[in-house]
Amino acid sequence: MHYHFLDPYRPAKSVLHTLDPRVKLVLTVAFILAVALAPTAAWPLYTLLLALAVAAAVAAELGVTYALKRALLALPFALAALPSLFTLPGARLFSLQIGQWVLTATEPGLQRVLSVVLKSWISMQAAVLLTATTEFPDLLVAMRAIGVPRLLVAIFGLMWRYLFVLVDEAIRLIRARDARSGSPMGQGGRTVWWRARVTGGMAGNLFLRGYERSERIYAAMAARGYDGEVRTFPQPPLNIGQIIVLIGGLISLGALTLLGIWFW
């Protein structure tokens, strides 16, 4: 298994790692909701939320820059928000002339774009921290505890278990193609249509391997007594410390949201 680095979990024994996964999941979603509810251009509020995210990153003992960097992944999508820079009415900032078009950037436009990008970056840090400090099987248990349907959680679990196996399978296919078409990343080789057909054949091949593997997996599971039900130990109730963290977190996030609604 070469691609175990796909697993975003970073093992450690920090406060955040030992926090109950149910509490972490609920608090992460609440944090992202609070960020989403923050109004446009509420810069001090964004600073507070960012400080919370950084504090959590420090508590996770992963290094402060870990989540900050990983969260930048959403940035390419900022392109989708960019047109607002030129289309919202308001005070003129600068004009760009491209051929026959004149684009005029406005102050509300700039505020909108910056807010969207910042909010996206801050929310993503929370999601990065959740997956970096929680093992996926624990996350599955947490999902089950907050009411995600049993069948769906079972499918998630099996998908997770075989993800790395099939990614390895895909990497072997890509390596085989690269070895035969003489250039990295499949750049080489005849026409686009030919390359597309080869890639399509690889996708079909991968599907077939996945399908046949799932039959073997089912046979192996059935041989060990699988009857369609995935049984797990019941979760222990939350202890008092966990409950305090949960309620304290929810109250402070609610307070930040109200602050945003009242003052901006």
Partner 1 sequence: MLFAPKFLPLLVDSQMHIPDGFLSVLVSVVCWGLTVLGVGVALWRTGQELDERKIPLMGVLGATIFAGQMLNFSVAGGTSGHLMGAAIAAILLGPWPAVLVMTSVVSIQALLFQDGGLLVLGANVFNMAIVGVFVAYGVYQTILTLTRNKPWGTFVGGFVAAWTSIVIASLVVALQLALSGTSPANISVPAMGLIHMVIGAGEGLITIGALAFLYATRRDLLGLAPAGPSRASNRAVWIGGLIIALALAVLSPLASIHPDGLEWVAEEQGFLNTAQDAPYEIIPDYVFPGLPDERVATILAGIVGALIVFGTALGVAYLRHRRQPDTAYEA
Q: Which of residues 192-231 bind partner 1 (CB under 8 A)?
A: 192-193, 195-211, 213-215, 217-218, 221, 226-228, 230
Which of 49, 56, 157, 249 is in the footprint of partner 1 by CB under 8 A?
157
Please give the distance of CA 17 from its chain centroid, rounded to a whole number: 18
Q: Answer yes or no whether residue 180 interacts with partner 1 by CB under 8 A.
A: no
User: Backbone phi, then psi, for 102, in 5-degree steps?
Assistant: -115, 120
Is the distance from CB of 160 to CB of 47 less than 8 angstroms? no
Q: In whole angstroms, how close is the CB of 241 to partner 1 at the nearest point?
A: 25
Footprint of partner 1 on residues 9-28 (CB under 8 A)? 28
Helix (H, G, I), strand (E, B) or coil at 153: helix
Q: Is the dihedral of CA 95, 98, 102, 106 positive or negative?
A: negative
How, if at all, do strands 101-106 and 92-98 pair? antiparallel
Which of 50, 61, 138, 186 is in the footprint of partner 1 by CB under 8 A?
186
Is the distance from CB of 260 to CB of 37 less than 8 angstroms? yes
Please give the distance of CA 119 from its chain centroid, rounded to a whole number: 14
Which of 58, 59, 145, 156 is in the footprint of partner 1 by CB under 8 A?
156
Helix (H, G, I), strand (E, B) or coil at 82: coil
Q: In whole angstroms, how close is the CB of 213 to partner 1 at the nearest point?
A: 6
Identity of the residue, 87 or 235, whose beta carbon is nearer to partner 1 in the bound complex: 87
As a whole number of angstroms, the distance between CA 139 and CA 144 comes to 9
Footprint of partner 1 on residues 96-115 (CB under 8 A)? 100-104, 106, 108, 112
As a whole number of angstroms, the distance between CA 40 and CA 121 comes to 14
Which of 160, 242, 245, 252 is in the footprint of partner 1 by CB under 8 A?
160
> From residue 47 to residue 86, what is the string marking binding to partner 1 with x (rule CB under 8 A)?
----------------------xxx-xx-xx-xxxxxx-x
Which of 110, 127, 246, 256 is in the footprint of partner 1 by CB under 8 A?
127
**Number of chain positions touching partner 1 (CB under 8 A):** 107
